[in-house]
Amino acid sequence: DQGAENVPKAKGERFTSSGFILAAIGSSVGLGNMWKFPYITGKHGGAAFFLLFIGCLIVVGLPVLLAEMTIGRGGRANASLAFYKLTNKKAWGYLGFLSVLTAFLVMSYYAVVAGWTLHYTVESFTGLLFQQGTDYKDKFVTFAGGSWPVFWQAAVMILSGWVIARGVSGGIEKFNKILIPGFLVILLVLMVRSLTLPGAGAGVEFFLKPDFSKLDAESALIALGHAFFSLSLGMGIMITYGSYVDKRQSLGSATLAIGFGDLVYAFIAGIVIFPTVFSYGLKPGEGVGLAFMALPAAFAQMPFGAIFGGLFFLLLAIAALTSAVSILEVPVAYAMNRWGWTRKKAAVIVSVACFVVGIPSALSVGGVLGSFTLGGKSIFDLVDFMTSYVLMPLGGLVVTLFTGYAWKLAGEEAGLSGFWYRAWMFLLRIVSPVLIILVFLYSVGLLSF
């Protein structure tokens, strides 16, 4: 009975045009921009890699982003029902459901990481983080291995559940309209700070010095995978957000705005991070090690480091929270449609379920479940691996094949015709599926160089 619910959407269930673009940028600008993109750029040829990344955004990222928003708006429904409504085929509804499941699982551990950033924000501003002689690696391992992460995970679930419960315009849109400008201000403050540190040039050089000799098939696949992840594709987010967009909104220009926003934020993040790292003689790295172990050591030595460190973690927290809200909305929208629940009820039930499912992840980063591994991976790593490397590419593949082959009216909904339509179809039918499969094979280790 996937098609039984065709309730017209209430007023508060709509984005304004600018609210939609901001919310989509809020989703796409996440921890990936802050702690992954700068590092892979620095490592794989600086400005040369940056150009390659732009190419990947254009060839795979933007076409799939446009396809997701088009499916959402065309179907006016959640990430499973939209597929069904547009083709009347149950099988597509089930394939779409996969991405709802992906979003639910991603949220379960993303809330854990977002929680860490909240804890570090508080610890920085209070100065607790910066005591003499602290070993930041130790400090993180002790924190993540304790039970406090569950508290912060709960805080993230409550906050994002609350935003979602308030609705699309009064919740998601408002939240992003407040946080994204704040995010930009903090980012610019930190950029000025980092560029004026002694020896900042070495950091900029590491990040941007073009080295075309480092570009190879492997860096191309890394750039592709990141373009995909960075735009929050393959998990129904842009489908769900697209279902709240007005018919008059040009999806083509929204696509360009979101891609551009994502790129600019990633670029500035690199300019914040590397000068800071290099200026204090630390080693550049990515992910947890960079954010929770290396950078605190830099802030500890900086004048007013508690404030700059606090602002940095606040930046991470905002990036994570605006993404978290977008992920949570996917299963909530599904539950509302599927079971006829009110938004509030769906938000509460899904958030609680997601919290419970995420507890093992929270406790497996060195915590009580840390020693339980499967194939050498902790529960946390396993959920991350399954979603990022298996389910998300699969979700992306479903979107490209659906838009390229199954749904005949995609071009009309997207507002494309002539050359642009043919180009879009060529990318969706052939280029994107092939590249997504290659990235998938590479990331699960079936293809290597």
Instruction: With CB under 6 A as the rule, give the number of residues binding ligand PHE.
Output: 15
Residue of the chain from 100, 180, 222, 327 that contacts ligand PHE (CB under 6 A): 327
For CA atoms 360, 365, 371, 375, the dihedral sign is positive
Instruction: Give the span between the Cα atoms of 269 and 333, in whole angstroms.
Output: 32
Residue 355 in contact with ligand PHE, rule: CB under 6 A: no
39: exposed, middle or buried (C-beta count within 10 Å: 0-12, 13-18, 19+)?
buried
Measuring CA to CA, how many Å separate 7 from each of 126, 197, 291, 368, 435?
Answer: 49, 57, 45, 46, 38
Instruction: Give the span between the Cα atoms of 427 and 60, in whole angstroms.
Output: 7
- Residue 30 or 331: the one with the smaller Cβ distance to ligand PHE is 30
Identity of the residue numbered 125: F
Residue 33 in contact with ligand PHE, rule: CB under 6 A: yes
Residue 156 in contact with ligand PHE, rule: CB under 6 A: no
- Residue 66 or 129: the one with the smaller Cβ distance to ligand PHE is 66
Residue of the chain from 31, 268, 383, 410 that contacts ligand PHE (CB under 6 A): 31
CA triplet 187, 190, 195: central angle to 5 degrees? 120
Instruction: Give the span between the Cα atoms of 259 and 58, in whole angstroms.
Output: 9
- Residue 29 or 306: the one with the smaller Cβ distance to ligand PHE is 29
Instruction: Give the span between the Cα atoms of 410 and 407, in whole angstroms.
Output: 6
- Residue 220 or 324: the one with the smaller Cβ distance to ligand PHE is 324
Enumerate residues 235-294 that contact ligand PHE by CB under 6 A. 235, 237
- Residue 261 or 305: the one with the smaller Cβ distance to ligand PHE is 261
Judged by CB under 6 A, which stretch of 22-30, 121-129, 301-309, 406-414 contacts ligand PHE? 22-30
Residue of the chain from 117, 323, 400, 403 that contacts ligand PHE (CB under 6 A): 323
Residue of the chain from 30, 331, 358, 360 that contacts ligand PHE (CB under 6 A): 30
- Residue 33 or 70: the one with the smaller Cβ distance to ligand PHE is 33
- Residue 358 or 367: the one with the smaller Cβ distance to ligand PHE is 358
Residue 160 in contact with ligand PHE, rule: CB under 6 A: no
Hey, how many other C-beta atoms are within 10 angstroms of the C-beta on 430?
12
Residue 27 in contact with ligand PHE, rule: CB under 6 A: yes
Least gap, CB of 237 to ligand PHE (angstroms): 6
DSSP characters for 149-210?
Answer: HHHHHHHHHHHHHHHHHT-IIIIIIHHHHHHHHHHHHHHHHHHHHHHTSTTHHHHHHHHH--
Closest to 409 in 3D by CA, of 74, 160, 3, 40: 74
DSSP characters for 394-410?
Answer: HHHHHHHHIIIII-TTH
Least gap, CB of 287 to ligand PHE (angstroms): 11
Strand partners, 378: 373
Least gap, CB of 114 to ligand PHE (angstroms): 10
114: exposed, middle or buried (C-beta count within 10 Å: 0-12, 13-18, 19+)?
buried
Judged by CB under 6 A, which stretch of 29-37, 118-126, 153-161, 341-349 contacts ligand PHE? 29-37
Least gap, CB of 330 to ligand PHE (angstroms): 9
What's phi and psi for 409, nearest 5 deg?
-100, 15
Judged by CB under 6 A, which stretch of 27-35, 170-178, 201-209, 350-358 contacts ligand PHE? 27-35
Judged by CB under 6 A, which stretch of 14-22, 154-162, 323-331, 352-360 contacts ligand PHE? 323-331
- Residue 129 or 271: the one with the smaller Cβ distance to ligand PHE is 271
Residue of the chain from 232, 240, 276, 432 that contacts ligand PHE (CB under 6 A): 232
Measuring CA to CA, how many Å separate 21 from each of 2, 100, 156, 412, 424?
Answer: 29, 22, 23, 21, 21
Residue 28 in contact with ligand PHE, rule: CB under 6 A: yes
Least gap, CB of 388 to ligand PHE (angstroms): 8
Least gap, CB of 53 to ligand PHE (angstroms): 12
Residue of the chain from 26, 32, 161, 360 that contacts ligand PHE (CB under 6 A): 32
3-state secondary structure of 430: helix
Residue 411 in contact with ligand PHE, rule: CB under 6 A: no
Judged by CB under 6 A, which stretch of 69-77, 229-237, 285-293, 414-422 contacts ligand PHE? 229-237
| 267, 106 contact by CB (below 8 A) | no
Residue of the chain from 78, 80, 176, 230 that contacts ligand PHE (CB under 6 A): 230
Instruction: Give the span between the Cα atoms of 355 and 146, in whole angstroms.
Output: 17
Q: How many helices (H) and strands (E) does the chain have?
A: 23, 2
Enumerate residues 77-106 that contact ligand PHE by CB under 6 A. 106
Residues that bind ligand PHE (CB under 6 A): 27-28, 30-33, 106, 229-230, 232, 235, 237, 323, 326-327
